[in-house]
Amino acid sequence: MKRIGVLTSGGDSPGMNAAIRAVVRSGIYQGLDVYGIYRGFKGLIEGSIQPLTLRSVGNIIHRGGTILFSARCEEFETEEGQHKAIAQLKKLGIHGLVVIGGDGSFRGAERLSQKGVATIGIPGTIDNDIAGTEYTIGFDTAVNTVIEALDKIRDSASSHDRIFVVEVMGRDTGKIALWAGLAGGAESIIVPEMPIQVEEVWARLERSRASGKNHSIILVTEGTNSAAEVVDELKQRNLDIRMTVLGHIQRGGVPTALDRVLASKMGAKAVECLRQGASGEMIAIQKNELIHLPFAKAREQAKPSVEPMLELAKMLSI
């Protein structure tokens, strides 16, 4: 293999740039030509592909977002779209591809691999919702962004004896809420894996009040009971309550050291895997070790239970 490509796809996450840099630099170090594909699978179909140099990935390790841009592309989900993409790669003699993205992007990567393009996935999503890996690039930064916001919100909550309901991202998983809630001392954490009734939140608030705590932070993962519903129900009980939806600030920002290191290791590992002839696999962290495993095998692996952390958070926020 002499020539490889790299693209970012799906939702962006802080640390993707560090992963691109690692793919480019480790690839060039090993004597490969590395091409950047712009706007994910959409750019691949359209042939938006440029060679990347050591210098084109300079000064990006600390930047959130992705210099290769990201996009969603329905056409790529069709056989025809995939054939168009493969034709673009063939035209440039690119035989290996690194796809940085989430679950959906990995399905796309798997399709290419099944059609003969050597493809390796790097998990990049703030949600940390990919089976087979304990961490994804961007999760740590997003959690830190939420904690920073919670610390500020708590200042106001405690000054006014108020209750704040804060909605965070996470899609089908409450990992961001759980980690940020535990680290930020939230009084209640609502996650999709273990939905709770507002009654239970109310009971916890009552208990807190009885023990002398006059302010509380309730963290809600988007899509579960949405923050607005929780606020409406609690307002009916005459509580002084405010709502904050953190939204897309969780997607951006300067990546933490942990995300930069993870991205650097994963980027270099992806190139190593391609050179060794692997395909249809993702890079992952399991038990603190950097590994690679087939996409299909990763999907079969159970996601770790959120229950122990949720219980710990409950115990520590009484």
Encoded tokens for 265: 């290791």
Query: Are the C-beta atoms of 281 and 293 separated by less than 8 Å?
Result: yes
Tokens 């640390």 belong to residue: 15
Which CB, 11 or 184, lies closer to ligand ADP?
Answer: 11
Beta bridge partners of 284: 291
- Tokens (6 digits) for 216: 């509380």
- Whichever of 8 and 188 has its CB closer to ligand ADP, that residue is 8
DSSP-assigned letter for residue 263: H
Answer yes or no: 161 catalytic. no
Closest CA to 67 of 20, 32, 109: 20
Nearer to ligand ADP, 49 or 241 (CB): 49
Q: Which is nearer to ligand ADP, 10 or 36 (CB)?
A: 10
Taking the least distance from each CB to ligand ADP, the nearer of 43 and 184 is 43
Question: Minimum distance between the CB of residue 140 and ligand ADP, rounded to whole angstroms?
Answer: 17
Angle between the N-to-C axes of helices 175-184 and 307-316, in degrees from 0 to 180, rounded to the nearest 10: 20
Cα dihedral 273, 276, 277, 282, rounded to 10, equals: -10
- Contact footprint for ligand ADP (CB under 6 A): 9-11, 41, 72-73, 76-77, 101-105, 107-108, 111, 125
Nearer to ligand ADP, 9 or 141 (CB): 9
CA distances from 192 to 80, 125, 196, 224 (A): 36, 18, 9, 5
Q: Measured from the CB of residue 88, what is the shortest distance to ligand ADP in angstroms?
A: 14
Strand pairing category for 3-8 and 241-245: unpaired
The distance of closest approach from Cβ of residue 266 to ligand ADP in the complex, given in angstroms and rounded to an integer, is 15
Contact 32, 2 (CB under 8 A): yes
**CB of residue 282 to ligand ADP, shortest distance in Å:** 12
Continuous H helices in 64-185: 79-92, 103-114, 139-160, 175-184
- Beta strands in the chain, from DSSP E residues, in sequence order: 3-8, 33-37, 49-52, 96-101, 118-123, 163-168, 188-190, 216-221, 241-245, 281-286, 289-294
Closest residue to ligand ADP, based on beta-carbon distance: 104
Please state the closest distance from residue 109 (CB atom) to ligand ADP, in A.
8
**Nearest approach, Cβ of residue 76 and ligand ADP (Å):** 4
Selecting among 12, 33, 103, 127, the annotated active-site residue is: 127
Residue numbers annotated as active site: 127
